[in-house]
Amino acid sequence: MELIVASYVKVRDRRALTDLLTHRRKVLAHLQSVSGINPENAANAIQEELAVIEAGLEEPNPPPGSHVGSEVNTTNQTTEFSN
């Protein structure tokens, strides 16, 4: 789950994070409503996943006008690449 959330955070896909959070909450609610089983271990795992997703949603938004993965050369130096 951590890798999934990290990927969504990296590409700044808040909608995917929100959808994932909603889905996991539904799974937890359904799991807790099932009778005849002890869902404690599964419920704990899902609650940990929810915490990871919520932490991903807390990541700061990029400043307006910035692009993911863009880097600005502020030193006016030319970079040469050799083959």
pLDDT tens across 33-79, in order?
Answer: 988 888 899 999 999 999 999 999 998 665 555 554 444 444 444 44
Task: Look at residue 64 in the predicted model and tell me its pLDDT.
Answer: 56
Q: Considering the domain boundaries, does residue 69 fall inside one?
A: no
Segments forming the whole domain that contains residue 52: 2-57
- pTM more than 0.75: no
Taking residue 56's Cβ as centre, other Cβ atoms within 10 Å add up to 23
Alpha helices in the chain (DSSP H): 2-10, 14-33, 40-57
Q: Considering the domain boundaries, does residue 7 fall inside one?
A: yes
Q: Considering the domain boundaries, does residue 53 fall inside one?
A: yes
CA–chain centroid gap for 65, Å, is: 22
Provide the domain count of the chain. 1
Residues 6+ apart with CB under 8 A from 73: 79
Task: Look at residue 74 in the predicted model and tell me its pLDDT.
Answer: 42
How many helices (H) and strands (E) in the chain? 3, 0
